[in-house]
Amino acid sequence: MSTTPTRQHYDVVIIGGATSGSSIAWHLATNPEFKGNVLVVERDPSLAYSATKASNNCMRQQFATAINVQIAQYAAEFVKRYGAEFSPDPRDVPFTPSIRSFGYLYLSDSSEFTDVLRKDRDVQAGLGAGTRILSRADVQRRYPFMYTDDLDGASLNVVDEGAFNAWGMAQWLRRTAQASGAEYIANEVTGIEVDEANDRVRSIQLRTGEQITVDTVVNAAGTRAAPVSEMAGIADLPVEARRRYTYIFSVDDSLPQDLPLTIDPSGVHLRSYGANDYLVGCPPIGPDTAVDVDDFSFAEDIWEEKILPVITRRVVRRFASARVTDSWVGHYEFNTFDQNAIVGPHCTLRNFLFCVGFSGHGSQQAPACGRAVAELIVYGRFRTLDLTVLSYDRIVENRPLTERAVI
Ligand SMILES: Cc1cc2nc3c(=O)[nH]c(=O)nc-3n(C[C@H](O)[C@H](O)[C@H](O)COP(=O)(O)OP(=O)(O)OC[C@H]3O[C@@H](n4cnc5c(N)ncnc54)[C@H](O)[C@@H]3O)c2cc1C
């Protein structure tokens, strides 16, 4: 990938070429009504340290806010339409080219939390999602290998919910956006020039020195979204990097059926990965605070101290033989304000758009949020799903749209 742009002016510059930036580029470049040109600037085209690369590749309908359920519905539609074209990932999605719908199983250990799940189910069911509330006995019957004595109930949906090839999707979006005319460069945006008199971004500066004039700039910079906003004089973007651990492990005695993405009350979540192995993830043991965007160290022995006790208890003796085969630390681009995406223009700098702050669900939100940003650019308004509730204005006006169902 070249480091040098072919033009000195672009209609659209997207900062960040991972799943969000590439979804925006794809929705622009493949829309025949878009007549402009697009430059995507990505500081590390390997995406090795992006949230996109660290993703656990899961998709769900079980959100607490209606807009997130609708966003998830487009994700499922998108992946079912194009999933067969994503690069194959034989380990993670071996049984289907699109969605491995083993569902998400939220376990509840109190009647209060089961009531919350019931309320969320009503939101989801109102939009057509197939979520069901299970009693403890239902969980025991359906997953007889699971320890349930401490449970009050659960919620489960096995329609369009489970695992998909999110990494393959991100690469496919980039590939097909490029093939459709979007230009990508391996470079870094190091400055943004603002025309203060007219409240507009005028140009961006690249690490290699070039100054590019631009009509619209999109911030899709993931965990670096706040420093990128600061370049444009926006000092208060509430997005920070938060450490998340993922392990892949094999067992001698695998389960007789797929394990849904099971969210244990401890915060540990695990699911089937390949045929005989499983994926498990969790936040840190101590306080969940901001970390340096370049710090991917394992700050604690989370496998021994937190994960192993939970999985051997929940899935009883079968997982006592668990052997770790892979592990990584990734960063959520965590929105400290309300854990929801921020999508659309800045309140005064109207040609500076956000597509950031996904707080752990950006792989599945990239199709709908990328489409929404592309619609704002091409038509000046949302045409399919109205994402006004995710606007930056809500932060300025202190109107949080809190997403409780953050994993
Ligand atoms: C451990 C983990 C598990 C997850 N599991 C799931 C899951 O199961 N399902 C789900 O839906 N989501 C999941 N997520 C969240 C999801 O991965 C992210 O929300 C999503 O990938 C965000 O994509 P992005 O393109 O917005 O940001 P990123 O992937 O972080 O990409 C931002 C890009 O911007 C580039 N960039 C930054 N600054 C500049 C600059 N100045 N100039 C040029 N380029 C720049 C970076 O190099 C980077 O490549 C998970 C995240 C983590 C960390």
Tens of pLDDT, residue by residue over 168-222, are: 999 999 999 999 999 999 999 999 999 999 999 999 999 999 999 999 999 999 9
Computed over every residue of the chain, the mean pLDDT equals 94
**Average confidence (pLDDT) over 377-398:** 97
Q: Does 188 contact ligand 1 (Cβ within 6 A)?
A: yes
One fold for both 9-53+167-238+338-396 and 101-161+240-333? no
Within 13 Å and on the Cβ side, how many CA atoms surround 31? 22
Q: Tell how far the Cα of 42 is from the centroid of ligand 1, in angstroms.
A: 12
pLDDT at 275: 80
Q: Which of 375, 364, 334 is nearest to 80 (CA)?
A: 364
* Percent of the chain residues topping a pLDDT of 70: 98
**Average confidence (pLDDT) over 336-356:** 97
Query: pLDDT band for position 286 (50/70/90)?
Result: confident
Residue 92 has pLDDT above 70, yes or no: no
Which of 26, 55, 100, 269 has most ligand 1 atoms within 8 Å of its beta carbon, as the pocket-test mutant?
55
Q: Nearest C-alpha to atom 21 of ligand 1 is from which residue?
A: 52
Q: Which amino acid is at 5?
A: P
Q: Does 165 contact ligand 1 (Cβ within 6 A)?
A: no
Q: Nearest C-alpha to atom 22 of ligand 1 is from which residue?
A: 362
Query: pLDDT band for position 281 (50/70/90)?
Result: very high
Query: pLDDT band for position 262 (50/70/90)?
Result: very high
What is the C-alpha to C-alpha distance for residues 20 and 222, in angstroms, rounded to an integer?
8
What is the C-alpha to C-alpha distance for residues 290 and 80, in angstroms, rounded to an integer?
35
Q: Does 362 contact ligand 1 (Cβ within 6 A)?
A: yes
| Residues β-bridged to residue 186 | 42
**Cβ of 191: how many Cβ atoms within 10 Å?**
12
Query: pLDDT band for position 320 (50/70/90)?
Result: confident
Which of 40, 44, 56 has most ligand 1 atoms within 8 Å of its beta carbon, as the pocket-test mutant?
56
Query: pLDDT band for position 89 (50/70/90)?
Result: low
Residue 81 has pLDDT above 80, yes or no: yes
User: How far, in Å, are 79, 226, 353, 359, 397 from residue 393 at the CA level?
Assistant: 30, 16, 12, 18, 6
Q: Which residue has the higher pLDDT, 4 or 89?
A: 4
Residue 239 has pLDDT above 60, yes or no: yes
What is the C-alpha to C-alpha distance for residues 360 and 364, in angstroms, rounded to an integer?
9
Ligand 1 atom closest to Cα of residue 221: 34
* CATH level 3 topology of 9-53+167-238+338-396: FAD/NAD(P)-binding domain (3.50.50)
Residue 47 has pLDDT above 70, yes or no: yes
Q: Which of 3-17, 35-49, 292-306, 358-372 has the lowest mean pLDDT?
A: 292-306
Residue 265 has pLDDT above 60, yes or no: yes
Q: Does 52 contact ligand 1 (Cβ within 6 A)?
A: yes
**Average confidence (pLDDT) over 282-301:** 93
Q: Does 60 contact ligand 1 (Cβ within 6 A)?
A: no
Q: Which of 236, 230, 183, 231 is nearest to 203 (CA)?
A: 231
**Cβ of 119: how many Cβ atoms within 10 Å?**
12
pLDDT at 273: 92
**Average confidence (pLDDT) over 225-248:** 97
pLDDT at 208: 98
Q: Tell how far the Cα of 392 is from the centroid of ligand 1, in angstroms.
A: 19
User: Which pair of structure tokens corresponds to residue 311?
Assistant: 């999985």
Superfamily of domain 101-161+240-333: D-Amino Acid Oxidase, subunit A, domain 2 (3.30.9.10)
Q: Nearest C-alpha to atom 10 of ligand 1 is from which residue?
A: 361
Query: pLDDT band for position 88 (50/70/90)?
Result: low
Q: SS3 string of the chain?
A: CCCCCCCCEEEEEEECCCHHHHHHHHHHHCCCCCCCCEEEEECCCCCCCCHHHHCCCEECCCCCCHHHHHHHHHHHHHHHHHHHHCCCCCCCCCCCCCEECCCEEEEECCHHHHHHHHHHHHHHHHCCCCCEEEEHHHHHHHCCCCCCCCCCEEEEECCCCEEECHHHHHHHHHHHHHHCCCEEEECCEEEEEEEHHHCEEEEEEECCCCEEEEEEEEECCHHHHHHHHHHCCCCCCCEEEEEEEEEEEECCCCCCCCCCEEECCCCCEEEECCCCEEEEEECCCCCCCECCCCCCCCCCCHHHHHHHHHHHHHCHHHHHHCEEEEEEEEEEEEECCCCCCEEEECCCCCCEEEEECCCCCHHHHHHHHHHHHHHHHHHCCCCCCCCHHHCCHHHHCCCCCCCCCCC
Residue 395 has pLDDT above 90, yes or no: yes
Q: Nearest C-alpha to atom 42 of ligand 1 is from which residue?
A: 188
Q: Tell how far the Cα of 58 is from the centroid of ligand 1, in angstroms.
A: 14
Residues 212-225: tens digit of each pLDDT: 999 999 999 999 99
Q: Tell how far the Cα of 180 is from the centroid of ligand 1, in angstroms.
A: 23
Residue 292 has pLDDT above 90, yes or no: yes
Q: Which amino acid is at 313?
A: R
Q: Tell how far the Cα of 18 is from the centroid of ligand 1, in angstroms.
A: 6
Q: Tell how far the Cα of 52 is from the centroid of ligand 1, in angstroms.
A: 4
Q: Does 28 contact ligand 1 (Cβ within 6 A)?
A: no
Query: Domain ranges in the chain?
Result: 9-53+167-238+338-396, 101-161+240-333
Residues 109-132: tens digit of each pLDDT: 999 999 999 999 999 999 999 999
